[in-house]
Every structure is written in C-alpha cells, then in structure tokens.
Amino acid sequence: MNDCIFCKIINGDIPSATIYENEEFKVILDRFPANEGHVLILPKEHSANIFEINPEQAGRLFVLATKIAREMKTILGLEHLNVMQNNGTVAGQTVFHFHLHLIPRYENDGITIAYKPMDLCDAQIEDMRKKLEMSI
C-alpha cells in the first residue's frame, strides 16, 4: 500500500523507534504516545483492520503481544497496561493498517481510555444474545 504510513515505516521509508522485529511483525514506539512507553505492534503484511487481517496472523500477533507486554512489565516495572485496537474511524482508527496498542498505565496518570456503561435490562441483553449467537 503506497500511501500507508505504517507500510512506509515497515519498508524503512519513514524512520521509527523499533524495539523488536521478526519476519512477520515490527514493534515500534508510538510517535504521539498516550503515555511513555506506548508501543504499537504492526504486522508487516498490510491489512486495514480486524475485518481484513488473516485470523491466524492475528493469533500470532497476540502471542507476540503477551511476550512484549511481559518484557515491558519487567523493564519498565509496570503493574498496569491497556491493550487497545481500533477499527474504523468511529472507533478511533486513524491509521488504516492493522495495529495493536500496548499502553503502560501508572497510578494517577490522568489518562482516560474509558466508556460510560449502558444500563440495559436482561431482555435487551437476551435480544442481542439471540441476534449474535453464532456458529463459526
């Protein structure tokens, strides 16, 4: 994808602060982090989002994410971390190349990654359960 900023980072056309790389993934620091040590995991193969990524690749990405998170825990002395992954503009996606955020969290860091829970009744939950019940 020649107009994709993350493809350019992966190709080396745009510099990045890379902390780990293998044949399939590149792990970089977010240039505009939510908190210090905000990490992005990028598959080298372009796909826009969760609706496009190869599911097996997504599985391998999450295995890597657990390893990276544990290294971050040790190196940075972390106790708290958000995993975030946005799909589509309404969901907050701004770069349309699949990526997973690992965001270190500290006591009183003032960062808000939050939503206000809806107050649904059991019937509404059951309606949605029926709608979404699936066999994959």
When asked if residue 32 is in the footprint of ligand 5GP (CB under 6 A), the reply is: yes
When asked if residue 71 is in the footprint of ligand 5GP (CB under 6 A), the reply is: no
Binding at 28: pick from ligand 5GP, Zn ion, none (beta carbon under 5-8 Å per type): ligand 5GP
Size, binding site for ligand 5GP by CB under 6 A: 11
Which of 92, 108, 2, 98 has its CA nearest to residue 41? 98
Q: Compare residues 26 and 97 and give the one whose CB is closer to Zn ion.
A: 97
Binders in 84-123 for ligand 5GP, by CB under 6 A: 86, 92-95
- Is the four-CA dihedral 66, 69, 27, 22 of positive or negative sign? negative
Nearest-5° Cα angle at 32, 44 to 2:
35
**Burial label, 63 (beta-carbon count in 10 A; 0-12, 13-18, 19+):** exposed
Binding at 97: pick from Zn ion, ligand 5GP, none (beta carbon under 5-8 Å per type): Zn ion
Q: Which of 38, 46, 80, 99 is catalytic?
A: 99
